[in-house]
Amino acid sequence: MYSEELFKISKENMPGGVSSPVRAYKPYPFFAKQASGSKITDIDGKTYIDHCLGYGPLILGHANPKIVEAITDQAQKGTLYGVPTENEIKLSQEIINRVPCADMVRFCNSGTEATMSAIRLARGYTGRDKIVKFEGTYHGAHDYVLVKSGSGAATHPDSKGIPESTTQNTLSVPFNDEEALKELIEEEGNNIACIIMEVVMGNVGCIKPKKGYLDFIRKLTIDYGIILIFDEVITGFRLSSGGAQEYFGVTPDICTFAKILGGGLPIGAIAGKQKIMELFAPNGPVYQAGTFSGNPLSIRAGITALEQLDKSFYDTLNKKGNLLRLRLKDNIEDLGLNLQVNGIGSMFQIYFNPEPVTNYTEAKKSDSDLFTDYFHELLKNGVFIAPSQFECCFLSGAHSDEDLEKTSYAIEKSLKTIYQK
């Protein structure tokens, strides 16, 4: 059967035909058959260069041979024990070695769980209820943070089913705006448990922090006894071996990981300073638990992924990212267009917007309809990216120079087509 037919059936079995909303683009999404390295193949027989990469986790590309070997071996030894394993020590130690804020690690199963637990931990530690997030950041699909979030929620505003009483303690401010944050903290600072942030916003496209902004936030949080949480679910093990905190040289109190950490399998983790982390049950009074937490397959895949992600890996990958962005800018200029090429390291996105994009409000002014045309043209030209202006595109170590040439050519060709319409 073809994707079109399968999607009809799929919609009868599953709401919207998908297991996560962003996957349901119109008229129907392609159904995956298999994937390898930088490429994904659909059941209709078409192969694409993949810059969606599972929305970020696949920094080593699809079906990385060493990870396949490791999880095959692990599957034969059991996939769930319900008791601790030595491999959990190994992976936590690797995180502690790499990540500046990490004295201790708690494993869980997703980024959503990680940020939910990190916020609970900050509230437990400080005894305060209020939390601060930034407009357009996404911290997963749980109730505390589904307020002015990015990703799916940026295009489908405000979820039903969340009582106002749940989010009344969730305060939002614009990103990259020191004044707005300062004003809020001067007023509410002593009631605020934590500031949770994506260091680089990756769920409204891709937006970097302005120079000095992170230092400003770090100082402010110290002054008011506020826990600073870096949600590194995208940037962790992507920007550098110690994540965005190492890349920018600013150390939070707690951080969260997921995506890349599982080597392509489901995982989440909270890492942070010992005096805070020790508050998690069973040592402390902050409850956090999970049947599959630290599950042997994900842990094994994570260890095998991190083994391959050394400094030289990031040097090479980030250079490729720089080169691609430069090429895209050149091509866009040659076409006489005025679009924004945002990005950092191996992250990039083109905004259909004539003005620079440095926060959520500016991102939302982009032309999403034009983006959708661009997305479909790219598919025709053999490149798959996330089907939303408000997601980020990624590179993996499996993308060859030839892949990137093809990608930039496909982007140029697609832009030409949509602007001729």
> Footprint of ligand PLP on this chain (CB under 6 A)?
110-112, 115, 138-140, 198, 202-203, 231, 233-234, 258
330 is catalytic: no
Q: Looking at 48, 138, 144, 213, which residue is catalytic? A: 138
Nearer to ligand PLP, 201 or 220 (CB): 201
Of 139 and 364, nearer to ligand PLP (C-beta) is 139
Tokens of 33: 């058959």
Is 334 a catalytic site residue? no
Q: How far is the CB of 207 from ligand PLP (least distance, A)?
A: 12
SS3 content of the chain, % helix, strand, coil (to 5): 45, 15, 40
User: Do the bridges between strand 130-134 and strand 170-173 make them parallel or antiparallel, or are there none, so unpaired?
Assistant: parallel
**Cβ closest to ligand PLP, residue 184 vs residue 255:** 255
User: Nearest distance from residue 206's CB to ligand PLP, in Å?
Assistant: 11
Q: Three-state SS for 290?
A: coil
Is 413 an active-site residue?
no
**CA angle at 37 for the pair 417 and 387, rounded to the nearest 5°:** 40
Task: Please list, in sequence order, all residues whose beta carbon lies within 8 angstroms of the beta carbon of residue 347, skipping any fewer than 6 positions away.
Answer: 200, 202, 206, 234, 238, 239, 321, 392, 393, 394
Q: Which of 259, 360, 364, 403 is catalytic?
A: 259
Measure the CA–CA gap between 112 and 140, rounded to whole angstroms.
4
CB of 27 to ligand PLP, least distance (A): 25
Nearer to ligand PLP, 115 or 117 (CB): 115
CB of 329 to ligand PLP, least distance (A): 25
| Cis peptide, bond prior to residue 84, ω within 30 of zero | no
Q: Measured between alpha carbons, how far is residue 172 from residues 4, 149, 150, 272 in Å?
A: 40, 9, 12, 23
For ligand PLP, the closer of residues 37 and 202 by Cβ is 202
**Residues 260, 237 contacting (CB under 8 angstroms):** yes
Quote the least distance from Cβ 360 to ligand PLP, whole Å: 14
Residue of minimal Cβ distance to ligand PLP? 111
Within 10 A of 186 (CB to CB), how many other CB atoms are there? 10
- Give the residue numbers annotated as catalytic, written as ranges: 138, 231, 259
